[in-house]
Amino acid sequence: MDPPRSENELLDCAAALAGRTLGEVARCHAIAVPRNLKRAKGWVGELLETALGATAGSRPVPDFESIGVELKSVPLNSQHLPQESTFVSSAPLINTVGLQWSTSTVKAKLNRVLWVPIEAAHEIPVAIRRIGRPILWSPSSEDSAILQADWEEHIERIALGNLDEHGAQLGTYLQIRPKAINKRDRTLAVSHTGEQIALLPRGFYLRTSFTRKIISA
């Protein structure tokens, strides 16, 4: 698939997938469908990347680099509401001095997002899960203000070495959660006394309640 040349082309292409099943789309691209997603958690996102002509690979750039759009699949429960949080980016646990919201990876990633809802209720076999209507989205100024406040709170907490004082409860829309191979995974961080320590790597995630608001709008 050639990369989209404009937002409209991307949106048209994504809209053409609406109502189709993952199995149909996978077959078009000669991609095998896993029996479940337990060991293929990124499979749906990667299928959409292929189907829509995403270009980024694992480089730290938007999925549709030339038009600056990020692609996110959003799993829907049996009521067709988002059922999972959405990973945004890893959280910096060191060298936080001087970081600003305006140049943050979180803001950059959320600047323009194509949300593609996917049926994800466990009882539906992966191959016959249907793709929903895409939403091309940017945060409203109100959204941005809340995301910024969340982000600044998280970064301050990281810089002060207070990461262990709360769990994932902090943040209205944006939360911090583990993003690791397993619980023994470690990355460099700053302790409460300012020393370097090894901690579980974390990532920024959008709360399910926020993506529900986006998808429902």
Partner DNA sequence: ACATGATCATGC
Partner DNA sequence: GCATGATCATGT
The contact set with DNA (CB under 7 A) reads: 36-42, 44-46, 48-49, 56-60, 63, 70-73, 75, 77, 84-87, 89-90, 105, 109, 118, 120, 122, 167-169, 175, 177-188, 200-201, 203, 207-209
Please state the closest distance from residue 15 (CB atom) to DNA, in A.
Answer: 17
- Of 44 and 215, which has the nearer Cβ to DNA? 44
Least distance between DNA and beta carbon 12 (Å): 19
CA atoms within 13 A on the CB side of 157: 20
Q: How far apart are the first and last CA of the chain?
A: 30
Q: For residues 148 and 210, which CB has a smaller minimum distance to DNA in the complex? A: 210
Could you count the other beta carbons within 10 Å of the beta carbon of residue 14? 23
* H/E segment holding residue 178: strand 174-178
Burial category of 136 from C-beta neighbours within 10 Å (exposed 0-12, middle 13-18, buried 19 and up): middle
Residue closer to DNA by CB (options 73, 148) is 73
Cα–Cα distances (Å) from 172 to 138, 146, 148, 153, 154, in that order, read 18, 7, 10, 11, 11
SS3 154: helix
CB of 40 to DNA, least distance (A): 6
Cβ 96 to DNA shortest distance, Å = 13
Closer to DNA by CB, 109 or 139: give it: 109
